[in-house]
Amino acid sequence: MDAMIKKDYFLLSLYDKESYVDFVKELNKLGEFNLLATAGTAAWCRKQGVECETIEDVFELSPRLQGQVKTLHPDLYTALLADSGEGLNIKGVAVDLTPFHVENGEINLKKVDIGGVSMLRAAAKNYHQVLPVVDQSTAELLIENYPPTEQIRRRLARKAIERCLSYDAEFAGCLDPGAPEFPSSPCRLSSLRYGENPHQEAAFYSKFGTELPFKQLAGEALSYTNCLDLRAALRILGDQRPEASMIKHTNPTGWSAAERLETAIKSAWSGDPKSAYGGVLGVNRTFTTECLEQVEEYFIEAIAAPDFENEVVEALTNQPRPRLIEASPVIFETGEEFKSFADLYLYQSVEAGDDIYKGWRTVSESKPTEEEELGLQQMWRLVRFVTSNAAVVGTRDMVLGVGAGQQSRVDAVEIAVQKLREHHSHFKESLVLASDGFFPFPDNVEVAAQAGVDAIVVPGGSIRDDEVIAAANQNEISLVFTDMRLFSH
């Protein structure tokens, strides 16, 4: 050990070693460090043609508790926390934390990584001297920016602490699976162009230090409102058929499903073309050049899609808009939702999948046809993403009118019907309407009947349900109660 006391080391503690082959080789090429690892990782490094010493030899350690204790040693942490030049120095750590092993519903506590988290915290504390790496993105950041500036060092240290927070949160979730994952300290990921208005600052924060769940491929920087609309555009999409949604101020101006995506896009825009101007488009299939030709005449702030053809990206690379956002609707299938409340967080669970269709019952004399039933299911799925009080009228393939954010239920229905008459008066068959809350009075049914609506789906639960049902029977409208409210605020 005396002969090596003045060496600078980069310590490796890697669970998924194969993911770090390129990093280890690039790190070795720098020629700045001697690599150091536990016996298993050191042997793997040598197989890659990279020399690596073992902590067992350098610090004269031996693993304890069947390998649970490998790196928890005063000499090792002295090397991590010491100022440069004070004996043996560890100048960097790459830690790929051991994932949690859940067997028969129980976490294997012996597999929980203690040493890795401790080394990351020590490295972050001494970031002026030690470079922490926690994943592929930080590995690339270090190699591409070596030697690192103060800013890069701080960023790596922040990522290390965020990874520790994420690991701790996942650990807590394994111990008590029924409790929501709660952000103990949200982490700032990136700045946004501005907030809801240009004078307001805005940024992306992560619950537990995760990366942004999307990639921007083209266009100017996103604003706060762009992000809210992108979220709305993606959440509303299903996966059974090609679908497109047009969003303005978090509410749909149109939605459509069709055999071809470009057809769905055209129908989504025509849902309410006046309101769609300057909105955000979301689709659930690859955005092709044919899709681009369809939207060239539209003014759209951003387009969200699972992926884009290269020709589309190339065509819009130097354009400020539409922004191209590569993201999948599945990123919002988390089953939970948090909102800020002063310096607190509000949490609520989010209903999933087919749960919203359970308990449906037809309460009118008229029963919905098969086509109307499919339309009711679609409009019910969509109305939960419209700001309350909300009403949506349409068919199984297309939204024809939306009434959003009204204090009065009947006002929401009247606005949805007004949009229907203004843009789609030629639709006469299988028209359905969904309301996110019960009808407090039968006037809602009367308004829908005058517009030619054939079937309605609502939660039910009003003290005047009998009057509402009677109005439906009088107008020969099929009325379905769901016994589930879908308010959205």
From CA 140, how far away is CA 147, in angstroms rounded?
13
- Which residue shows structure tokens 């049914």? 445
- Which residue shows structure tokens 């939970």? 336
φ/ψ of 301, rounded to 5, equals -75, -40
The one catalytic residue in 101, 249, 367, 423 is: 249
From CA 227, how far away is CA 262, in angstroms rounded?
23
Q: Supply the DSSP symbol for 84.
A: T
Rounded to an integer, what is the distance from CA 312 to the centroid of its chain? 24
The DSSP string of 23-49 is HHHHHHHH-S-EEEE-HHHHHHHHHTT
- Region for 121 from its dihedrals, namely left if φ exceeds 0, alpha if ψ lies in -120 to 50, beta otherwise: alpha
Nearest of 68, 74, 65, 39 to residue 53 by alpha carbon:
39
- Strands 243-248, 279-283: pairing kind: antiparallel
The one catalytic residue in 47, 125, 207, 489 is: 125
> Virtual CA dihedral for 392, 396, 397, 401, nearest 10 degrees?
-20
> Virtual CA dihedral for 457, 377, 437, 273, nearest 10 degrees?
-100
From CA 381, how far away is CA 399, in angstroms rounded?
12
Supply 429's token pair.
Answer: 């068959």
From CA 248, how far away is CA 225, in angstroms rounded?
9
Catalytic residue list contains 125: yes
Q: Is 62 exposed, middle or buried (0-12, 13-18, 19+ CB in 10 A)?
A: exposed
Catalytic residue list contains 339: no
Q: Is 179 exposed, middle or buried (0-12, 13-18, 19+ CB in 10 A)?
A: exposed
What residues contact residue 375 under an 8 Å CB cut-off, 6+ apart?
394, 395, 396, 430, 431, 432, 455
Cα distance between the two ends of the chain: 64
From CA 228, how far away is CA 409, in angstroms rounded?
24
Structural element, H or E, at residue 21: helix 21-30
What residues contact residue 402 under an 8 Å CB cut-off, 6+ apart?
251, 252, 253, 271, 272, 386, 390, 391, 392, 393, 415, 416, 419
Nearest of 191, 174, 196, 214 to residue 332 by alpha carbon:
214
What's the sign of the alpha-carbon dihedral 127, 129, 135, 140? Answer: positive
List active site positions.
Answer: 125, 249
